[in-house]
Amino acid sequence: MSMVGKILLYGRLTFRYPKEPMDATNFSASPRIDPAACNGCGECVVRCPSRAISLQPGTGIGIDYDQCVFCALCADVCPTGAARMTPHFELARRDRAALRHSPLVVREDLVPAEPVETTGRLLEKEIRRRFGRSLAVREVDSGSCNGCDYEINALNNPFNDLERFGVHFVASPRHADMLLVTGTATRNMERALIRTYNAAPDPKLVVAVGACACSGGIFRGSYATRDGIDRLVPVDVYVPGCPPRPQAVLHGILLAIGRMGEVDP
Partner 1 sequence: MKEIRRSVAPDDLPDVATRLVREQGLSLAALFAIDERSANGRYLLRYVFTDRAAGSLLTLELPVAHDPGTFPSIAATVHAAALYEREIQDLFGLSPVAHPDARRLVHHGNWPDGEFPLRRDFPLGRKPPRAALEQPFRRVEGEGVFEIAVGPVHAGIIEPGHFRFSVAGEPVVNLEARLYYVHRGIEKLCEGETPERVLFFSERISGDETFANSLAYCEAAERIAGIEVPARARYGRVLFAELERLTSHLGDLAGICLDTAYGFGAFQFRMMRGWAYLMADELCGMRFLRSVDRIGGLRRDFAAGKADSLHGQIARIRAELGDTSALIHANNLFIDRVETTGVLSAEAAADLNVTGPGGRASGVRYDVRRDFPYAAYGELGVRVSEHNNGDVNCRMNVKIDECLASLDLMDQALDAMPDGPVLAAVGPLPPHRGAFGLVESPRGENLHWLETDADGNVARYKVRTPSFCAWPALCLAVQGNVVPDFPLINKSFNLSYAGNDL
CA within 13 Å, CB half, 163: 7
**Does 215 help bind partner 1 (rule: CB under 8 A)?**
no
Cα 129 from chain centroid (whole Å): 23
Closer CB to partner 1, residue 1 or residue 36? 1
CA 184, 68, 170: angle at the middle one, nearest 5? 45
User: Is residue 141 within the footprint of partner 1 (CB under 8 A)?
Assistant: yes
Nearer to partner 1 by Cβ, of 43 and 236: the residue is: 43
Binds partner 1 (CB under 8 A): choice among 42, 81, 201, 221: 221
> Quick one: 35 or 81, whose CB is closer to partner 1?
81
Q: Is 163 in the site for partner 1 (CB under 8 A)?
A: no
Angle at 40 between CA 89 and CA 239, to 5 degrees: 20
Which listed residue (39, 56, 118, 157) binds partner 1 by CB under 8 A? Answer: 157
Interacting span for partner 1 (CB under 8 A) from 32-40, 118-126, 155-163, 256-264:
155-163
Alpha helices, DSSP H, located in 139-222? 147-153, 190-199, 210-215
| Cβ nearer to partner 1, comparing 58 with 223 | 223
- Closest to partner 1 by CB, 59 or 172: 172
Look at strands 53-56 and 60-63 and give their pairing. antiparallel
Considering the rule CB under 8 A, would residue 65 count as an interface residue with partner 1? Answer: no
13 near partner 1, judged by CB under 8 A: yes
Contact 229, 208 (CB under 8 A): yes
> How many Cβ atoms from other residues are within 10 Å of residue 111's Cβ?
10
144 binds partner 1 (CB under 8 A): yes
186 binds partner 1 (CB under 8 A): yes
Residues 83-102 close enough to bind partner 1 by CB under 8 A: 85, 87
Give CA torsion, residues 144, 53, 24, 91, to 10 deg. -70
d(CA 72, CA 112): 33
Asked if 107 and 147 count as a contact pair (C-beta separation under 8 A), the reply is: no
Which residue from 66, 151, 230, 236 is in contact with partner 1, where contact means CB under 8 A?
151
Q: ∠ at Cα 64 (27, 91), nearest 5°?
A: 40
Across-strand partners of 203?
A: none
Considering the rule CB under 8 A, would residue 198 count as an interface residue with partner 1?
Answer: no
What residues make contact with partner 1 under the rule CB under 8 A?
1-3, 6-7, 10, 13, 26-29, 47, 49-50, 69-73, 76, 85, 87, 109-110, 113, 139-154, 156-159, 169, 171-173, 183-184, 186-189, 191-192, 196, 217-219, 221-225, 242-243, 245
